[in-house]
Amino acid sequence: MTDKPKKFSKARWGILRDTLLEQRSSAHKHSGVTRRPTGAFGLVKTEVVVTSEVDKNSHLIDYVYDNIEVRLRQRKDDAFVLDDFKISNEHKIDNTGVICLWPAEEALTHFCVKNSHIFRDKRVLELGAGVGLAGIALAAMGIAKEVVLTDGNPTCVDVLQENLERNNAKYGRTMTRAEVLHWDRIATGSTKYDVIIAADCTFFKDFHGALARSIHQLLAPRGEVYMLNPSRSGSVERFTRCTN
Ligand SMILES: C[S@@+](CC[C@H](N)C(=O)[O-])C[C@H]1O[C@@H](n2cnc3c(N)ncnc32)[C@H](O)[C@@H]1O
């Protein structure tokens, strides 16, 4: 018998607790201060777009990088959606990708745009894509053969699909799609990719083994992997050790 379910629920309760505490403390801040600022490194110019099509928990943000411009729907900083926790429990997945875009995704976007040669004519897979800035910006460069955005959280995948469709006119010859891909459940004989990218996906050490195995299984021979992760108390180092 494993203690994994306990660890999952402990992690999820931790996220719920942090969200509630952050909401309480942000009530004292003025409205211009965000919980986790989008564009934390200032690498990608961002602008919140207010339109009538967005519900009370989401807004649209324009991300502009060099000549790449994409519009993404994402959660407002003060949104709190109980359904997120229900889906987390049902699918045994955290909701960190639902609640915001993390700084590592912005850094990954910068990397992809500045190193476009890596992706030319390649089949690219983004793991744990959240709202999908890096993958969608890459698709909008129109140089890759295919960009597939994945996440283990079905709510993220709905948002990824919607964000892909929202920017559909920009992909040129690059094919795109979004799909659920849980690192614990990779089917044998899955499609292989030339390049795998991921941002901030090593924070839960319980998933390190599954993530490493997924990469091993999904990477084509001579393929390349680019992961940008904050250290988060040594989690990157622990992940690196488990890949040896
Ligand atoms: C910290 S978020 C990063 C999201 C996005 N890359 C960003 O930086 O904004 C981690 C992402 O990994 C996904 N994830 C966590 N565990 C996973 C698993 N076992 N299988 C697939 N995706 C997972 C989460 O749903 C989430 O979207």
Q: How confident is the model at residue 78 (pLDDT cuts 50, 70, 90)?
A: confident
Characterize 132-148 residue by residue with b for buried, 16 or more Cβ atoms within 10 angstroms of its Cβ, and e for exposed: bbbbbbbbbbebbebbb
| Residue 35 pLDDT | 38
SS3 content of the chain, % helix, strand, coil (to 5): 40, 25, 35
Asked if the model's pLDDT at residue 221 lies above 80, the reply is yes
Q: What is the pTM of this model?
A: 0.86
- Which of the residue ranges 87-101, 106-120, 134-148 would you say has the lowest mean pLDDT? 87-101
For residue range 206-216, list pLDDT tens digits in order.
Answer: 999 999 999 99
Sorted by where each starts, the structural domains of the chain and their CATH numbers stand as 4-242 (3.40.50.150)
Residue whose token pair is 């996906």: 201
For residue range 169-182, list pLDDT tens digits in order.
Answer: 999 999 999 999 99
**Ligand 1 pocket, residues with Cβ under 6 angstroms:** 93-94, 96-97, 101-102, 104-105, 128-130, 151-153, 156, 182-184, 199-201, 203, 207, 210
| Cβ atoms of residues 133 and 106 within 8 Å | yes
Distance 218 CA to ligand 1 centre (A): 17
CA-to-CA distance for 124 and 126, rounded, in angstroms? Answer: 7
- Give the range with max mean pLDDT: 17-26, 93-102, 128-137, 228-237: 128-137
